[in-house]
Structure 1
Amino acid sequence: MSRPRRMTPQARRADLIASALDLFGSRAPELVTVDDIIAHAGVSRPLFYRYFRSLRELQVQALRTVTDGLVDGLATLEEGPPEVRVRAAVRGLIDVVAHYRAGYVALLRSGSVIATSETDAAIDEVRNRAVTLILESLGIAEPSALVLLTLRCWTAVVEGALLSWLQEGTVPREELDGWLVDQLTAMLATTKARER
């Protein structure tokens, strides 16, 4: 890919992050070195350090880019009944996860040496946004403790399903969003029956 020789500082920083995310596609983030990134981006080592104080800073920022994409994917709700709105949001998540495949796997993989309190907080932000979106789409202003627990459990189901889908690819993409929404519907129905 041909890159312009001169970039704005914002564009150069974004290009270095994109290079890191590209490299995460072929190896674990903790195995990607500064030399790998500068070779991929076609820049010098001093230029790299002009934008990032350390490799770790770049790794965290790259993973933050993934979580920002996930939050953006959940930013808007489509019009229509709750199931349509939630399904569209899940489809948006799947799109972002597919785009940032390696970064998403690195972000959620347990034991990653580049996980930090900052990346953990970013993941929590995505989870909280997902719960808020579902409550908004269902018109629930004051959820019960069991409903909140159900929604938080469902976000864990989504994360696990997306990780498995990325790594194994055994479920067709066009079936994934409907299946995940069906899971949510079943979980909420169980909760509703319990609360009667």
Structure 2
Amino acid sequence: MTPQARREDLISAALELFGSRPPEDVSVDDVVARADVSRPLFYRYFASIRELRVAALRSVTDGLIDRLAQRAEGTRTERLRSAVRAFLDVAAEHRAGYVALLRSGSVVATSETNAIVDEVRNRAVEVILADAGITDPAPLLLATLRCWTAVVEGTLLTWLQDGDLPAVELDAWLVDQLLAMLEVTARHEPRGGES
């Protein structure tokens, strides 16, 4: 196995474990057992379990950013729903890691992981603006889009932790939230979307 493939194998093992328990509960011994490698081999690729957690969470967010960049077919609303579904799919696939990453007080939530989350938020805003053809957004529009990403994250946490929200309705509901927010913003921003 190449060094890159071995590193990815360790990350995959960690992500599998994160699917069933919070990342802070996963140890080096758990990862090496899942990957069927020795502890010394683990330390050849990662200095600590913390470094592996960050790399694993980075791989999740990189995958999400890649999926956000893919253009779905259909109307602007349909494309936006597709982007929201990407969030839902990735969050569900990596449930424990995603919850730990966004939950305040988690040992996984550090300045480094917060910066990773911010990349996803910023990319989501960029995708929406690019899809609308807006290159110079008005401050109120930018604030609206950033607030909406917080709504999406809060909704996903509620969905993942409580399980009370029906997943099949979440993408439409979240897109309707954004459309309503944009309508209010347009009433308060006479210059329109661009400054």
TM-score under structure 2 length normalisation: 0.91
Structure 1 position 123 matched with structure 2 position 117? yes
Aligned to 1:150: 144
Aligned partner letter, 1:109: R
* Of 162-171 and 125-134, the range deviating more from structure 2: 162-171
After TM superposition, the structure 1 = structure 2 runs for residues 23-172 of structure 1, keeping only pairs within 5 Å, are: 23-172=17-166
**Distance apart, 1:67 and its partner CA:** 1.2
Specify which of 170, 188, 193 is matched with residue 182 of structure 2. 188
> Contact 1:127/1:155 (CA < 8 Å) preserved in 2?
yes
Aligned partner letter, 2:104: S
* Of 44-53 and 7-16, the range deviating more from structure 2: 7-16
**Distance apart, 1:82 and its partner CA:** 1.5
- Residues 145-170 of structure 1: CA deviation (Å, up to 9, x unaligned): 11000000000000011111111222
Aligned to 2:193: none
- Measured in 2, the distance between the counterparts of 1:74 and 1:123 equals 14
Aligned partner letter, 1:139: G
**Distance apart, 1:81 and its partner CA:** 2.4
Give the match's secondary structure for 2:51: helix
Give me the CA root mean square deviation: 1.4
Specify which of 163, 169, 179 is matched with residue 175 of structure 1. 169
> Contact 1:147/1:191 (CA < 8 Å) preserved in 2?
yes
Identity %: 67
- Measured in 2, the distance between the counterparts of 1:113 and 1:99 equals 21
